[in-house]
């Protein structure tokens, strides 16, 4: 199975482990991910205003690159990129006026021919969790992992149809396939504070604290994420929350789901 | 707070509605947005109050609120809104009214916390500067 | 040459303010065939009508044109007027110079010109009006009521009490419907079963009512006064004649399945009666869950039955009956909460729907009427009631208000305070709507006397937290954030039309709205009629409503039925389509577009040379035709005419308006 692949800025630097494990597991599973040429930053956030279109150009160019490469699916890893690409693609497909405006600035017309998929979706739909379970060499038996979805994978409800917004299960099913135990806790979709950690740390820290407590109370030993910013927030505030809570057990490491997959496939 | 004729600014409200693409009159003040907002406790104007003030034409009040810089655009509120109002878009429009004015930037690279410079993912930095500066 | 009289109405200032009546009269007097023209301030008044009658006699008028309000208002009045002066009522023609002229124009000059044009059009048509006569049709004086809830029960009893026969068809093994599931009823708190079961017994005992349970309507044909309905009597597997209702079979049945009547809170057996006061109180076998029907072995019920009533061979039977009128009373479904993951319904056992909570309150329910948590069987001390779950939600539920939830939640709060001393109800609402007699007082009682705390705020999320449930909301009035830890959460799930309402509507040739509720003929003035003559609506199937409204509507529907049955015969609508056989090409485009199934194919023998050759042509059943005219447009050779609106008449109007 062949795909175009859009890494995004963070995957080449801070989240190198995410990219490395994604690419190595893809190879092991017989998936061909080809990085598209000359990609630029996707903009990190989908534009929420109606009076700017320049922020659509970068994702649309990447989608055009995918089409030019003869592929019909573009795979992303970073939840931020995924959110931007998926929503941009949907907007281009459904909003004729926006499509016309964007295409007026581009050399070629893009009509929404490419599908945007997250690597997690590739694993679920194209490989199959059942098939992954069969390929697992080292089952993660006994590992109690808290899937943390964050926001960007799932919301807004009407635009991202990866999974049920309130009670998603794709991470749980993935973890079960690896032999791990997915911990159930009610904060798995509550926002970690996102970019507030760049300017309002105390707010992000409090948001993380609630997630951390909920996961810990329900028996989690680590978090599993798909978003570099979620990982940063969950990790950065742990030490100070730890100091405040006087509970040394509270330390919960944060893994990208691909790291666990690589471990289970013994790569 | 007092609603008086002089404070009502429907021109600014129209700008907010245009830039956001949202109709604030659709809101019936059920409060589901505020109830589920993960950072609501740090806001001075709650999400449903943002829409209420907007409905009343009190846009200037909103432009002075901390809430604009606290909303993380996590889209929990609009994913549950029974009236299909996308509040993050309304807040974005309010933010842009400020940011598009000279000197309106909320965040300067020099203000970044030390650990952010050390460890933060680009994703976070790009997001923050897109939300907080122009 | 016809002798046409023209009468222009002022309608007070409604018409006269925008139309120069004198100029219209002067213009009318010059129109071809017009021998008399006059005006009146209120033509519909007795004086105005007398003026028309006098003029008909004095000027020997044989056609009458009235320029006035819409024919929807006074066509009947004026038809009777001309009829009493000795003319055929269809010699009358109305020009609508109010709704279609004076009301929509401001400029008197333009309004006058348009009024003249409309009068000229009506005069041109009136000159071609023919005498029309309504056909008489016989009536089958037996009614069919579909649905055995409180609406169907009330309608059946009221029709039967007027002396006419009624068949009451119910899909479930027992009548009773939703009301049978309820504990107490607002605003009086009388026991639902205590007021419902006597009516159920009345139905069973009424000599004019035939009860057909475990049956559904398969096919409906015919028309007002003469419907032919095929009813599928589902294989009950229990012979109702032999069964003595002892219940031995139920006690011994080994197969268990979630009880629909108990909202899935407990299990019932595969052979079951839905509830203790069922009518008939005789079981049915749910074949989808019966061990014998699924695995081929068992037959325990047959072995223990002392009356030899179990019949595994029983098959569905089709009953075909004639009815003169039909009352549809098929009720509602509760809204499925799949889109409301934020409330943890189905994730946590102590998050219940209101109907499930109702069963906990009920003495015959799974807890014997005690309010106990499904998780641990303990009494909840704090209960959060969440309103509008799936209602008033255009994003992921129903955009409409379910109407009953505010009141039943006030009832639940009151009953909670009575049954669990020291308990506390928190009611999360968007608006509290209590428009009904004694309703506001009842709501007041909930918060003033029974300690319910009303919080204006739509709960955003319920977080399961150990054996507690954390409810997060906001108090919109104070702006305070609300985080309450409670023992139980009750969701006021919205009401939906029945999932198969649209299918039934198609069988009945009636319409449903966007939410699949049956559509009434007029939202204010014909609220129990459908657009199809002889078919009436009662209860929730027409839209959300409470028990008093449902009962009132059911009685209204019954009177409508009785009014039909009280007539000697029915007069048809004379403005029906008519086929000119010579012109009909037999391609039957008309048949395809007819919404009433009034057109069929017939074969006529025609002489061609020496031979008689069969040829198919269209034929209109005048009793079914509602005069919509769709066929006349679809007919390419122009072989179909609508009486009173013939192609020639329409063309004459077009010519006149183009002058």
The verdict on a CB contact (< 8 Å) between A165 and C341 is yes
Best B30, B44, B67 residue to mutate vs chain C (most C CBs within 10 Å): B30
Pairing mode, if any, of strands A254-256 and A222-225? parallel
The verdict on a CB contact (< 8 Å) between A186 and C396 is no
Q: Which of A156, A195, A199 sits opposite B75 (nearest CB)?
A: A156
Task: Answer for the pair C243, C249: CB distance below 8 angstroms, yes or no.
Answer: no
The verdict on a CB contact (< 8 Å) between C460 and B32 is yes
pLDDT higher for C572 or A200? Answer: A200
Count the residues in chain B: 134
CATH domain B5-101 topology: Fumarate Reductase Iron-sulfur Protein; Chain B, domain 2 (1.10.1060)
In a domain, C237, yes or no: no
Q: State how far the Cα of C324 lies from the Cα of C412, in Å rounded to an integer.
A: 42
Q: State how far the Cα of C50 lies from the Cα of C54, in Å rounded to an integer.
A: 6
Q: State how far the Cα of C4 lies from the Cα of C128, in Å rounded to an integer.
A: 11
Tell the residue number behind the tokens 């709650």, with chain if given.
B46
For residue C115, give the nearest of C24, C9, C5 by alpha carbon: C24
R_g of chain B computed on alpha carbons? 15
Q: State how far the Cα of C508 lies from the Cα of C165, in Å rounded to an integer.
A: 20
Q: State how far the Cα of B119 lies from the Cα of A231, in Å rounded to an integer.
A: 11
Query: In this complex, is the C-beta atom of A232 within 8 Å of any C-beta atom belonging to chain B?
Result: yes
Q: State how far the Cα of A58 lies from the Cα of B89, in Å rounded to an integer.
A: 21
Residue range(s) occupied by CATH 1.10.1060.10 in chain B:
5-101
Q: What are phi and psi of C268, to 5 degrees?
A: -115, 175
Q: Which of A14, A49, A207 sits opposite B121 (nearest CB)?
A: A14
Going through C110-266 in order, the beta strands assigned E by DSSP cover 136-137, 142-146, 165-169, 184-185, 190-191, 209-212, 215-223, 226-233, 256-258
Q: Which of C397, C458, C482 sits opposite B30 (nearest CB)?
A: C458
Q: State how far the Cα of C63 lies from the Cα of C4, in Å rounded to an integer.
A: 5
Query: What are the chain C neighbours of B34 within 8 Å (beta carbons)?
Result: 457, 460, 474, 476, 481
Tokens of A158: 């009407």
Tokens of C388: 């509008």
Residue C64 belongs to what H/E stretch? strand C63-68
Q: State how far the Cα of B50 lies from the Cα of B57, in Å rounded to an integer.
A: 11
Q: What are phi and psi of A4, to 5 degrees?
A: -80, 155
Domain chopping of chain A, boundaries = 2-121, 128-264
Buried b / exposed e along C449-469 (16+ C-beta atoms within 10 A): ebebebbbbbbbbbbbbeeeb
User: Do C508 and C626 belong together in one domain?
Assistant: no
Q: Which of C396, C461, C476 sits opposite B36 (nearest CB)?
A: C461
* Closest Cα in chain A to B133: A199
Best C337, C345, C347, C489 residue to mutate vs chain A (most A CBs within 10 Å): C347
Q: Can you give the pLDDT at residue A247?
A: 67
Buried b / exposed e along A90-124 (16+ C-beta atoms within 10 A): bbbeeeeebbeebeeeeeeebebebbbbbbbbbbb
Q: Can you give the pLDDT at residue C176?
A: 97
**Cα angle, residue B125 at apex, residues B123 and B129 outer, rounded to 5°:** 120
The verdict on a CB contact (< 8 Å) between A157 and C464 is no
How much is the pTM?
0.88
Task: Answer for the pair C463, C483: CB distance below 8 angstroms, yes or no.
Answer: no
Residues B75-104 have a mean pLDDT of 96
Q: How far is A225 from chain C (nearest CA, A)?
A: 21
3-state secondary structure of B7: helix
Whole-angstrom CA distances from C633 to C433, C590, C636, C643 are 48, 8, 8, 14
User: Do C459 and C596 belong together in one domain?
Assistant: no
DSSP letter, residue C381: S
Asked whether the predicted pLDDT for residue C551 surpasses 90, the reply is yes
Query: What are the chain A neighbours of C341 within 8 Å (beta carbons)?
Result: 164-167
For residue C466, give the nearest of A184, B57, B40 by alpha carbon: A184
Query: What are the chain B neighbours of C388 within 8 Å (beta carbons)?
Result: 30, 82
The per-residue DSSP string of B12-54 comes to: HHHHHHHHHT--GGG-----HHHHH-TTGGG-SS-HHHHHHHH
Which of C33-42, C82-91, C593-602 bottoms out in mean pLDDT, i.e. has the lowest? C593-602
**Cα angle, residue C627 at apex, residues C623 and C632 outer, rounded to 5°:** 115
The pLDDT tens digits of the residues spanning C488-499 come to: 999 999 999 999
Sign of CA dihedral C338, C342, C346, C350: negative
Asked whether the predicted pLDDT for residue C659 surpasses 80, the reply is no
DSSP letter, residue C379: P
The verdict on a CB contact (< 8 Å) between A186 and C464 is yes
In a domain, C384, yes or no: yes
Pairing mode, if any, of strands C92-96 and C136-137? unpaired
* Closest Cα in chain B to C395: B82
Q: Can you give the pLDDT at residue A248?
A: 62
Tell the residue number behind the tokens 């079979």, with chain if given.
C249
The verdict on a CB contact (< 8 Å) between A203 and B21 is no
Total beta-carbon pairs less than 8 A apart between chain A and chain C: 17
The per-residue DSSP string of A198-235 comes to: GT-HHHHHHHHHHHHHHHHHTT-SEEEES-HHHHHHHH
The verdict on a CB contact (< 8 Å) between B89 and A44 is no
**Cα angle, residue A107 at apex, residues A103 and A112 outer, rounded to 5°:** 45
Residue where a domain terminates, one of C567, C588, C607: C567
Query: In this complex, is the C-beta atom of A8 within 8 Å of any C-beta atom belonging to chain B?
Result: yes
Q: How far is C517 from chain A (nearest CA, A)?
A: 26
Provide the pLDDT confidence category of residue C643 given band limits of 50, 70 and 90. very high
Query: In this complex, is the C-beta atom of B67 within 8 Å of any C-beta atom belonging to chain A?
Result: no
In a domain, C248, yes or no: no
Q: How far is B36 from chain C (nearest CA, A)?
A: 5
Tokens of A204: 């992000």
The verdict on a CB contact (< 8 Å) between C474 and B83 is no
Provide the pLDDT confidence category of residue B2 given band limits of 50, 70 and 90. confident
Q: Give the up-direction half-sphere exposure of residue C201: CA atoms within 13 A in the CB hemisphere.
A: 7
Q: How many of the other CB atoms lie within 10 Å of CB of A205?
A: 19
Tokens of C591: 């048949």
Q: Can you give the pLDDT at residue C573?
A: 85
Q: Which chains touch A (3 or more CB pairs under 8 A)?
A: B, C
Q: How far is C390 from chain B (nearest CA, A)?
A: 9
CATH domain A2-121 topology: Glutathione S-transferase Yfyf (Class Pi); Chain A, domain 2 (1.20.1050)
Q: Which residues contact C429 (CB under 8 A, 6 or more apart)?
A: C387, C388, C406, C454, C455, C456, C457
Buried b / exposed e along C261-293 (16+ C-beta atoms within 10 A): bbbebeebbbbbbbbebbbbbbbbbbbebbbbb
Q: Which of B29, B35, B41 sits opposite C460 (nearest CB)?
A: B35
Q: Can you give the pLDDT at residue A249?
A: 65
3-state secondary structure of C597: coil
Q: State how far the Cα of C39 lies from the Cα of C42, in Å rounded to an integer.
A: 9
The verdict on a CB contact (< 8 Å) between C397 and B28 is no
In a domain, C95, yes or no: yes
Whole-angstrom CA distances from A44 to A34, B83, C105, C529 are 21, 28, 57, 58
Q: Identify any residues that bridge with C37 across adjacent strands, giving them in sequence order.
A: C6
Q: How far is C487 from chain A (nearest CA, A)?
A: 17
The pLDDT tens digits of the residues spanning C443-491 come to: 999 999 999 999 999 999 999 998 999 999 999 999 999 999 999 999 9
Total beta-carbon pairs less than 8 A apart between chain A and chain B: 140
Low-confidence ranges of chain A (pLDDT < 70): 246-250
Q: How far is A186 from chain C (nearest CA, A)?
A: 6
Task: Answer for the pair A178, A258: CB distance below 8 angstroms, yes or no.
Answer: no
3-state secondary structure of C630: helix
For residue A195, give the nearest of B100, B82, B127, C449 by alpha carbon: B127
The verdict on a CB contact (< 8 Å) between A186 and C465 is yes
The CATH number of residue C194's host domain is: 3.50.50.60
Q: Give the up-direction half-sphere exposure of residue C585: CA atoms within 13 A in the CB hemisphere.
A: 8
Q: State how far the Cα of C308 lies from the Cα of C222, in Å rounded to an integer.
A: 40
Please state the ipTM of this predicted complex: 0.95
Q: State how far the Cα of A85 lies from the Cα of A115, in Å rounded to an integer.
A: 9
User: Do C470 and C502 belong together in one domain?
Assistant: no
Q: Which chains touch B (3 or more CB pairs under 8 A)?
A: A, C
The pLDDT tens digits of the residues spanning C373-406 come to: 999 999 999 999 999 999 999 999 999 999 999 9
Query: In this complex, is the C-beta atom of A211 within 8 Å of any C-beta atom belonging to chain B?
Result: no
Best A184, A186, A190, A218 residue to mutate vs chain C (most C CBs within 10 Å): A186
Architecture, CATH, for domain A128-264 = 3-Layer(aba) Sandwich (3.40)
Query: What are the chain C neighbours of B67 within 8 Å (beta carbons)?
Result: none
Q: Can you give the pLDDT at residue C137?
A: 85
The verdict on a CB contact (< 8 Å) between B35 and C430 is no
User: Do C602 and C456 belong together in one domain?
Assistant: no
* Closest Cα in chain B to A45: B127
Structural domain span for residue C592: 577-643
* Closest Cα in chain B to A150: B74
């Amino acid at each position: 199975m062949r795909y175009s692949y859009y890494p995004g800025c963070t995957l080449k630097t801070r989240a190198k482990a995410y990219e490395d494990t994604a690419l190595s597991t893809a190879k092991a599973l017989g998936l061909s991910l080809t990085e598209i040429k000359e990609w630029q930053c996707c903009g990190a956030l989908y534009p929420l205003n109606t009076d700017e279109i320049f922020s659509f150009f970068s994702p649309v160019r990447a989608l055009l690159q995918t089409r030019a490469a003869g592929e019909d699916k573009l795979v992303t890893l970073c939840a931020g990129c995924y959110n931007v690409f998926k929503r941009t693609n949907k907007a281009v497909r459904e909003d004729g006026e926006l499509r016309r405006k964007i295409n007026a600035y581009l050399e070629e017309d893009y009509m929404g021919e490419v599908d945007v998929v997250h690597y997690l979706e590739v694993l679920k739909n194209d490989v199959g969790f059942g098939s992954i379970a069969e390929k697992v060499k080292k089952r993660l038996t006994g590992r109690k992992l808290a899937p943390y979805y964050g926001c960007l994978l799932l919301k807004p409800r009407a635009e991202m149809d990866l999974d049920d917004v309130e009670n998603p299960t794709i991470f749980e099913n993935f973890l079960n396939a690896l032999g791990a135990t997915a911990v159930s806790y009610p904060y798995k979709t509550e926002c970690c504070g996102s970019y507030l950690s760049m300017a309002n740390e105390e707010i992000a820290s409090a948001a993380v604290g609630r997630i951390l407590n909920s996961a810990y109370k329900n028996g989690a030993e680590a978090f599993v994420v798909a978003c570099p910013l979620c990982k940063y927030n969950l990790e950065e505030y742990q030490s100070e929350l730890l100091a405040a809570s006087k509970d040394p057990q509270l330390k919960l490491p944060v893994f990208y789901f691909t790291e666990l997959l690589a471990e289970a496939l013994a790569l | 707070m007092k609603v008086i004729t002089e404070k009502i600014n429907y021109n600014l409200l129209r700008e907010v509605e245009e830039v956001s693409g949202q109709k604030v009159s659709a809101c019936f003040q059920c409060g589901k947005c505020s109830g589920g907002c993960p950072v609501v406790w740090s806001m001075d104007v709650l999400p449903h109050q943002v829409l209420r003030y907007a409905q009343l034409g009190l846009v200037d009040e909103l432009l002075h609120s901390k809430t604009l810089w606290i909303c993380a655009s996590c889209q929990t509120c609009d994913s549950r809104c029974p009236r299909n109002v996308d509040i993050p878009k309304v807040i974005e429009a309010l933010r842009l009214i400020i940011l598009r004015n000279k000197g309106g930037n909320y965040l300067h690279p020099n203000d970044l916390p030390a650990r952010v410079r050390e460890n933060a993912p680009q994703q976070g930095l790009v997001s923050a500067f897109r939300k907080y500066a122009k | 040459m016809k002798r046409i009289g023209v009468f222009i109405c002022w309608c007070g200032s409604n018409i006269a303010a925008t139309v120069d009546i004198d100029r219209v009269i002067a213009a009318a007097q010059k129109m071809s065939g017009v021998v008399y023209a006059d005006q009146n301030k209120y033509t519909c008044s007795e004086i105005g009508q007398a003026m028309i009658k006098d003029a008909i006699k004095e000027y020997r008028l044989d056609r009458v044109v009235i320029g006035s309000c819409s024919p929807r208002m006074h066509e009947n009045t004026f038809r009777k007027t001309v009829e009493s002066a000795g003319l055929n009522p269809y010699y009358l023609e109305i020009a609508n110079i109010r709704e279609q002229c004076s009301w929509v124009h401001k400029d008197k000059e333009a309004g006058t010109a348009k009024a003249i044009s409309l009068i000229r059009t009506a005069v041109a048509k009136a000159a071609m009006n023919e005498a029309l006569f309504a056909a008489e049709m016989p009536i089958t004086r037996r009614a069919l009521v579909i649905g055995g809830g409180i609406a169907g029960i009330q309608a059946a009893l009221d029709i039967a009490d007027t002396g006419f026969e009624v068949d009451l068809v119910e899909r479930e093994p027992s009548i009773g419907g939703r009301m049978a599931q309820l504990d107490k009823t607002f605003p009086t708190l009388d026991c639902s079963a205590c007021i419902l079961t006597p009516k159920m017994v009345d139905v069973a005992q009424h000599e004019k009512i035939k009860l057909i349970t475990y049956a559904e309507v398969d096919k409906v044909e015919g028309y007002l006064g003469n419907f032919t309905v095929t009813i599928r009597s589902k294989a009950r597997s229990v012979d109702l004649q032999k069964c003595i209702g002892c219940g031995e079979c139920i006690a011994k049945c080994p197969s268990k399945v979630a009880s629909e009547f108990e909202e899935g809170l407990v299990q019932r057996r595969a052979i079951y009666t839905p509830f203790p006061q069922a009518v008939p109180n005789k079981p049915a076998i749910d074949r989808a869950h019966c061990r014998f029907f699924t695995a081929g072995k068992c037959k325990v019920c047959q072995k223990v039955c002392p009356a030899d009533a179990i019949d595994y061979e029983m098959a569905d039977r089709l009953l075909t009956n004639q009815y003169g009128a039909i009352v549809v009373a098929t009720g509602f479904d509760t809204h499925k909460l799949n889109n409301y993951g934020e409330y943890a319904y189905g994730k946590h056992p102590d998050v219940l729907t209101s109907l499930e909570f109702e069963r906990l309150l009920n003495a015959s329910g799974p807890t014997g009427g005690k309010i106990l948590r499904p998780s641990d069987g303990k009494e909840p001390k704090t209960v959060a009631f969440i309103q509008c779950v799936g209602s008033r939600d255009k994003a992921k539920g129903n955009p409409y208000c379910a109407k009953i939830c505010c009141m039943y939640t006030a009832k639940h709060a009151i009953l909670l305070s009575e049954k669990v001393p020291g308990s506390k109800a928190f009611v999360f609402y968007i608006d509290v709507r209590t428009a009904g007699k004694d309703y506001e007082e009842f709501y007041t009682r909930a918060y003033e006397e029974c300690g319910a705390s009303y919080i204006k705020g739509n709960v955003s999320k319920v977080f399961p937290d150990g054996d507690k449930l954390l409810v997060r909301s906001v108090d919109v009035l104070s702006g305070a954030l609300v985080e309450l830890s409670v023992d139980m959460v009750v969701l006021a799930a919205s009401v939906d039309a029945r999932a198969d309402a649209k299918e039934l509507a198609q069988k009945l040739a009636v319409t449903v709205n966007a939410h699949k509720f049956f559509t009434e003929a007029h939202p204010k003035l014909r609220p129990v009629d459908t657009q199809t003559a002889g078919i009436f609506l009662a209860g929730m199937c027409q839209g959300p409503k409470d028990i008093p409204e449902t009962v009132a509507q059911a009685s209204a529907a019954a009177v409508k039925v009785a009014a039909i049955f009280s007539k000697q015969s029915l007069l048809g609508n004379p403005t029906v389509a008519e086929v000119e056989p010579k012109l009909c090409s037999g391609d039957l485009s008309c048949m395809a577009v007819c919404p009433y199934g009034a057109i069929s194919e017939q074969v006529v023998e025609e002489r061609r040379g020496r031979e008689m050759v069969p040829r198919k042509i269209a034929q209109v059943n005048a009793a079914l035709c509602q005069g919509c005219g769709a066929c006349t447009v679809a007919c390419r050779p122009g072989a179909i005419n609508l009486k009173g609106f013939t192609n020639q008449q329409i063309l004459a109007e077009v010519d006149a308006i183009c002058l």
